[in-house]
A = this chain, B = another copy of it.
Amino acid sequence: MDVLVPFAATEPKTRLAGVLRPDERAAFARAMLEDVCGTVAEAGGSPTVLSTADLDCEWPVVVDDRLLTPAVNDRLDPPVAVVMADLALSTPAALSRLFGADGDVVIAPGLGGGTNALVVRHPDFSTDYHGVSVADHRRIAEAIGATVTEIDSFRLSVDIDEPEDLVELALHGDGPAAAWLEDAPVGVGTDATGGRATVTRG
């Protein structure tokens, strides 16, 4: 299956500013992109990086500097998948479940209402990544009479966007992005409240 992997090439991962410097964020975003494209290929997909700027990369790259939604919609030629470049917890098994699931539209929801991965088999479907996109994508599918399947995957639900997501990568990742993080100056721990683990720059 053709798989678009959208990538923000300029100042990526600004929400990680509290724990990673700009050069580290850029390197980390690249490590995640390579990781995700490799995992897509292992799962039998053919990745194309949809980048906001030119990129030296081992995978095919197309450049489109528009916002995510129009850039994706212009290339939504079914059957096609869209897999975010920061799904560093994704595994071949998780992506195989996505690619292999039945349905005109297959959605892997992301934390906080996102759509982290998507398979589109219906010619009239279009994306809307602005706002609570999982709800928008359900509505768009319903409006065109497309069947929707949702994939229940923790590994596809965590896009590495906020500092707390680094906890998930440190605890559950095993690819190049997790290896990059292991060498980075951040540590994972819990405080005395018994809540979720957090990361700190050490």
Binding site for B on A (CB under 8 A): 15, 91, 93-94, 109, 111-114, 130-132, 134-135, 152-157, 161-162, 164, 167-168, 171-172, 188-190, 194-198
Contact = CB atoms under 8 A, between A and B. Distances in A.
A14 to B, nearest CB: 10
Given A135-B171, A167-B112, A188-B132, A93 B195 contact: no
A152 to B, nearest CB: 5
A154 B113 CA distance: 13
A168 B150 CA distance: 14
Given A113-B196, A132-B189, A153-B154, 19 more contacts: A94-B152, A109-B154, A109-B171, A109-B172, A112-B195, A112-B196, A112-B198, A113-B167, A113-B171, A113-B197, A132-B171, A132-B197, A134-B171, A152-B155, A153-B153, A154-B154, A157-B157, A162-B195, A162-B196
Contacts of A111: 164, 168, 196
B154 A114 contact: no
Contacts of A195: 15, 112, 161-162
Contacts of A198: 112
A67 to B, nearest CB: 10
A43 to B, nearest CB: 13
A197 B153 contact: no
24 contacts: A94-B152, A109-B172, A111-B168, A112-B164, A112-B167, A112-B195, A112-B196, A112-B197, A112-B198, A113-B171, A113-B197, A130-B194, A132-B188, A132-B189, A132-B197, A135-B171, A152-B154, A152-B155, A154-B156, A157-B157, A161-B195, A161-B196, A162-B195, A162-B196
The 4 closest A-B pairs by CB, nearest first: A112-B196, A154-B157, A113-B197, A112-B197
A18 B162 CA distance: 21
A190 B188 CA distance: 28
Nearest to A157: B154
